[in-house]
Amino acid sequence: MLSIRKIGVVGRTYRNLNRYRQILAVLFKYGFGDLIELLKIEQYIEVGLQLISRNRRSRVEKLSRAERVRMAFEELGPTYVKLGQVLSTRPDLVPADLTNELSKLQDNVPPFAFSAAKKIIETELGSPLEELFDFFDEVSFASASIGQVYKAGLKDGEVVAVKVQRPGIKKIIEVDLEIMLHLAMLVERNIKEIAPFRPVKIIEEFARTLEKEIDYTLEATSMERFARHFLNDPTTYIPKVFRDTTTEHVLTMELVDGIKVSEIDRLDAAGLDRKTITVRGANFYLKQVFDFGFFHADPHPGNIFILPDNVICLLDFGMTGSVDRQTRENFVDLIDNVAHRHEAKTTQVLLKLTSWDDEPDIRQLERDVTDFMGQHLYKPLKNIEVSKLLNHLLELISRHRLMIAPDIFLMMKAMATIEGVALVLDPDFDMIAQTAPFIRRIKLSRFHPERIAEDLIQLVSEMLQFAEKFPKDMLEIARLIRQQKLSLKMEHKGFDAMLATHDRISNRISFSIIIAALIIGSALIVISEIPPLFYGISLIGIVLFSTAAIMGIWLLVAILRKGRL
């Protein structure tokens, strides 16, 4: 478990203060001094920041803001790279140009020493490396921000890939997350335009996502789940996991010797059929989404290997997504209504798949959906690119301040990625036609006798529960009313503002009455010549007249300052 605290004052610990200054230095370097001013954290900037050369800053500032954000995240290290990659999957929170730029983020982290990897393995598995493995290459063949991978051999002769988590990465992530949380709190407090996106909640969700990614036992469980789903499918292969040598920080799995799907020349040289690979790969992903509701969320070409006989093999299960049956059916309805150009129904299903803080303008949304369909659907189906269609749909969702669940977006993004890979392998591939049987099967499944019986049983069960609980709940409410323990709380929005206005009005009226009383009283005193006199005029009357004049001027200034007489 990650240990993250909300830090109210930066520098509660020395480690946080040093890292905080490093982060601010990078922000300043990449031209985000305006953000530092808005957050009111200039006091944490060291004089050393001024040593960043003006020439370097001027070169950086020639880049777009999105490019500077990406570069800053890359320099800030693994936690921020992961945050950028997560934000690239949230078009409802991040503008399209920034989403595209963040999707380019790479883990530019140098590999750590073999001695550190050996120590972690021996500590985690409780035995010397020589007793655990027949051989173990000291040079890693893959390295990333969270861990790196080594080739090794088990005692039974099985050749495996051993993924070892980077030493100290958990501490680094915890410190960065604490600072991120503090910065998010400052953003919510000081930048009104960003506050509605709830940055604190985003960081909290990100922390939960990262917590899963740094626990290799969860990745092992995902691999085993995929293997069960496709156990009887000879066209796909999932590497085996070796649980005896797998822990939270070490993952041992079968080493797969295949060809990356992006290496077209090697595929052709090996005599593999690109069209067969394309169809099988698309079906592999579509089965994940529509049949099982559990899918690989990062199917980029580097994670897809092709084995002999055109078998598809997936790697790196650190990022997965899941969608329940109702969400899958709603997504199918969305695709079906879009394909049949039903604008109103498409809008209704789109609202089912999203959430919002402020009620959207339904009429404007329908007009935008109509425009969206006009741009994509009045051409042959084989010419429709699913990736462009989904990206445009996500832009439409973002424009109307609708929020889409992260897993739904991951599913849509992965589908677009799969289509992109497929078109490289086979330029004539038709993703719409490939998806059609899955859509048809899901639509028909609603009318299957077993499904109808299941839905009826659930409906009857819920009705019986309601019939059982409703009288008890009513009796409980009646009892609370009799005992005067039930209170009704009503909230009138704008009531405080109205009360404040009434208070100002009554205060001004009272003030005016007091001034009028002072004027009348002082006039009577002057007429009555009440001593002491000053040149024959009552001194008390003069003081009262002066007081009334000052109060009158004060009231007039207050009214004029508000702009209303």
Over the Cα atoms of the chain, what is R_g? 34
Q: What is the pLDDT of residue 51?
A: 44
Q: Residue 94 contacts by C-beta under 8 Å, 6 or more apart in sequence?
A: 87, 88, 102
Q: Quick check: 25 and 76 in contact, CB under 8 A?
A: no
Q: What is the torsional sign of CA 476, 482, 485, 488?
A: positive
Positions of the chain with pLDDT lower than 70, given as ranges: 1-15, 40-61, 89-93, 106-109, 193, 195-197, 378-383, 487-497, 562-565
Q: What is the pLDDT of residue 63?
A: 79
Residue written as token pair 């890939």: 161
Active-site residue set = 298
pTM, to two decimals? 0.70
Distance CA 288, CA 293 (A): 6
Q: 224: closest CA among 243, 203, 210?
A: 243
Local structure of 297: helix, strand or coil: coil
Residue written as token pair 């001024």: 50
Any long-range contacts for 360-365 (C-beta under 8 Å, 24+ apart)?
Answer: 360/400, 360/401, 360/402, 361/400, 364/400, 365/400
Question: Do you know the residue count of the chain?
Answer: 565
How would you write 438-485 as a 3-class SS string?
Answer: HHHHHHHHCCCHHHHHHHHHHHHHHHHHHHHHHHHHHHHHHHHHHCCC
Q: Quick check: 339 and 390 in contact, CB under 8 A?
A: no
Question: What are the structure tokens assigned to 482, written together?
Answer: 């009799």
Q: Quick check: 49 and 12 in contact, CB under 8 A?
A: no
Q: What is the pLDDT of residue 488?
A: 64
Q: Where are the alpha helices (DSSP H) in 250-404?
A: 264-269, 274-286, 325-339, 343-353, 362-376, 386-399
Distance CA 233, CA 230 (A): 5
Q: What is the torsional sign of CA 465, 468, 474, 475?
A: negative
Q: Quick check: 349 and 330 in contact, CB under 8 A?
A: yes
